Amino acid sequence: MKRFVPFLLFSFLKISGCISSGSNRPDWVHQVNWEGDITEDAKIETLLWEQVTPYRSIEYDIVNISTSRSGNAVSIQVTAGSSQSPYQDIYDFSYQDGILVMTGYLLEAIPAADRIKALDIVFSQGEEIRQAITQSRKEPTVKRILPQTSEKFYTPKTLLSVTWQDVQVSALVDVDSYTIVEIWNGGKNT
Amino acid sequence: MDLGSENFPPWEMDSEGLYQETRTQYIETYTLDAAAGDWTLNIMPYHTSRFDYTIQIGE
């Protein structure tokens, strides 16, 4: 019986969700697919979960990890989708000598409620933008800006960027304080 | 394909280094097994300031 106790304990923890499968895979990730030159790597995946983070209440239903090896370096692109948003999050990394560096991101997996809130902030406070977008013929994009980027313009926290690309207008928005942090209007920041 | 950098707000340029940095390039290769004949190729770049292409026929 004694030999079964550790097995039963592990099974209980596994079933109860205390131990996730994979490499410390967070509970907000439901399916992970690896493709490319590296079929799967637990160490890299553990490092990825330290930097890949969904927006607030979002959970990633599918995460695709695409890898491409060039010499000693590996380029990694993580594409994450959620049923809570029609848009995806994309992260780019470079991995070499055990170090993972994020080289770029495009994060649009944002719940509809927060997209609407960001637009409401812009419309209610951005008179300059309201005038500019009368000429726009396209829907605005709403992108998440990570704290490491935000701190260069405001403070290190998650912000949303609402942009009408065709008329060169954008607002950096703090949905928590319901404010426009900064406006970009054809290269003239205000 | 060169995505350029002048048309994006600074916080998006900064965050999307791989996508919008100056002189960022993407190279896409598409291969098609096709019968001999007349073919029409459409290239439709998006958010792109400059692009080049080559067509290679055969192996």
Flag if B11 and A161 touch (Cβ within 8 Å). Answer: yes
| The pLDDT of residue A34 is above 60 | yes
Specify the pLDDT at position A190.
53
For residue A9, what pLDDT band results from cuts at 50, 70 and 90?
Answer: very low
**pLDDT tens per residue, range A39-52:** 889 999 999 999 99
Q: What is the DSSP string of chain B?
A: -B--STTS-HHHHHHTHHHHSTT-B----------SS--------SS-SB---------
Q: State the CATH number of the domain containing residue A64.
A: 3.30.160
Best interface-test mutation with A: which of B5, B11, B22 has the largest number of A CBs within 10 A? B11
- Inform me whether the pLDDT recorded for B37 exceeds 60: yes
Chain A: nearest CA to B40, how far in angstroms? 29
Listed as own residue / partner, the contacts of A18-25 with beta carbons closer than 8 Å and 24 or more positions apart are A23/A49, A24/A49, A25/A49
**How would residue B49 be classed by pLDDT, with cut points 50, 70 and 90?**
low
A116 shares its domain with A103: no
Core vs surface per residue B36-46: b (16+ CB within 10 A) or e: eeeeeeeeeee
Nearest Cβ partner for B17 among A104, A143, A189: A104
How many helices (H) and strands (E) in chain A?
5, 10
Q: Which of A47-51, A59-63, A184-188 has the lowest mean pLDDT?
A: A184-188
User: How many domains, chain B?
Assistant: 1
Task: Kindly report the average pLDDT of chain A as a whole number.
Answer: 86
In terms of domains, do A116 and A65 share one?
A: no
- Asked if residue A126 and residue A51 are part of one domain, the reply reads no
Range of the domain at B34: 1-59
Residue A141 is predicted with a pLDDT of: 94
Task: Tell me the C-alpha distance between A75 and A96, whole Å.
Answer: 9
Residues of B within 8 A of A103 (CB-CB) are 17-18
Residue range of the domain that includes A77: 23-107
Query: DSSP assignment of A36-48, as one string?
Result: ES-S--HHHHHHH
Judged by phi (left if over 0) then psi (alpha if -120 to 50, else beta), residue A103 lies in alpha
Into how many domains does chain A fold? 2
**Quick one: A33 and A100 in the same domain?**
yes
pLDDT of residue A20: 46
Residue numbers in A near B19 (CB within 8 A): 104, 106
φ, ψ of residue B29 to 5 degrees: the values are -120, 125
Does B11 contact A145 at a Cβ distance shorter than 8 Å? yes
